[in-house]
Amino acid sequence: MIDNERYSILEKENTALKHMIKQFKNLLDSIPDPVFMKDENLRWIYGNPVILNLYSIDKDNYIGKTEDQLLPEEFAESCMESDRQAVAKGGISKSEERARGEDGEIHFYEVFKVPSHEPKTGEFKGLIGVGRDITIRKKTQEKLEVENKKRQENEQQLKELTETLELKVKARTHELNEQRLKAEYLATVDVLTQLDNRRAFYEKSNVIGQRSNRYENSYAVIILDVDIFKEVNDTYGHAAGDNVLQHLATVMKEEARTTDIVGRVGGEEFAITCPQTTLNGAQEIAKRICTSVSQSSVVFEQQLLTYTVSLGVACGSGDDTFDSIVAKADKALYEAKTTGRNCVVSEKE
């Protein structure tokens, strides 16, 4: 009687256990993600329809087999390696595995694996795993990485182009600045003699005149030109005449002071403005120029050319304008020309 009762109890418990297992299996079968179980030798003991279909595994002939017996060669080794790593870790592990879908494309799965152990001995008893399809996320990530790389390349190209453009702009700016300085130089300098041209000479001299009037300082103007310059051009040519003018410019710069304004104001006509200078001081400068020129010569085509200059000197004070001083110096120059040339004449002589 007792045995019958015990048998009945065991039968009921067995029936309940089978029902529970069936319900658990139904649950696992209904999960839309891949689910699998393996024993202590990492042999398959369960796979839900999703994973069986995913790898085209025969549902009636997979129990007790390993990955390398069930999965395509291109996926088997990586799955087995992730199993080994999960067992070695001894806890929940996450890995990325691949499978080829029905569309023929590679799909990526994020797989979580949980090893089970004997509570008392800690002996490894098996492995359960579940995965989820992350193909869209993976491809999106890869696309973002490609776009990010492309963006970085574009940014680098833009940076290089910007740097190149900046260098070109800098070079062009430098070139334009050089051209501007050259233009400014040419606008104020006589190219042949490298003295101030007429415009620059008058601008600078007017400033000296205004300052001298303001502070009641005297200043002087020397006007000079080459005697009978036309004969030099007619006899030796204009190239010789240019050499004479260049020589005269050199003499003027040597005999004038650093504060004096020296310029070429006409063809063979030159002028010097001497700030804070008396009439006697300006006469001394003019005499030195006259003497230096008469005692020197110009070499042209193996010939020695000699020439002389005439100079007129005038001094300004009070309310005299620069133009009025120039007029006085011009008058003195005319007198020097008509009284023999190669001399210095002052407005008050």
Closest by Cα among 320, 204, 326, 346 to 269: 326
Distance CA 335, CA 15 (A): 147
In whole angstroms, what separates CA 118 from the centre of its chain? 68
Residue 226 sits at the vertex; the CA angle it makes with 298 and 193, to the nearest 5 degrees, is 65
Burial of 153 (0-12, 13-18, 19+ CB in 10 A): exposed
Under DSSP, is residue 190 helix (H, G, I), strand (E, B) or coil?
A: coil
Alpha-carbon gap, residue 321 to 205, rounded angstroms: 10
- Find, among 308, 274, 276, the residue nearest to 289 by Cα: 308
Tell me the C-alpha distance between 323 and 342, whole Å.
Answer: 25
Classify strands 309-316 and 344-346 as parallel, antiparallel or unpaired. Answer: parallel
Active site residue 268: yes
Q: Is residue 274 a contact partner of residue 282, using CB atoms and an 8 Å limit?
A: yes
Which one from 67, 255, 268, 347 is the annotated catalytic residue? 268
Q: How far apart, in whole angstroms, are the C-alpha atoms of residue 185 and residue 265?
A: 16
- From residue 168, how far is each of 150, 161, 173, 182 by CA, in Å? 26, 10, 8, 20
Residues ≥6 apart with Cβ < 8 Å to 192:
242, 245, 246, 264
| Burial class of residue 232 in the structure, from the number of CB atoms within 10 Å of its CB (0-12 exposed, 13-18 middle, 19+ buried) | buried
Active site residues: 268
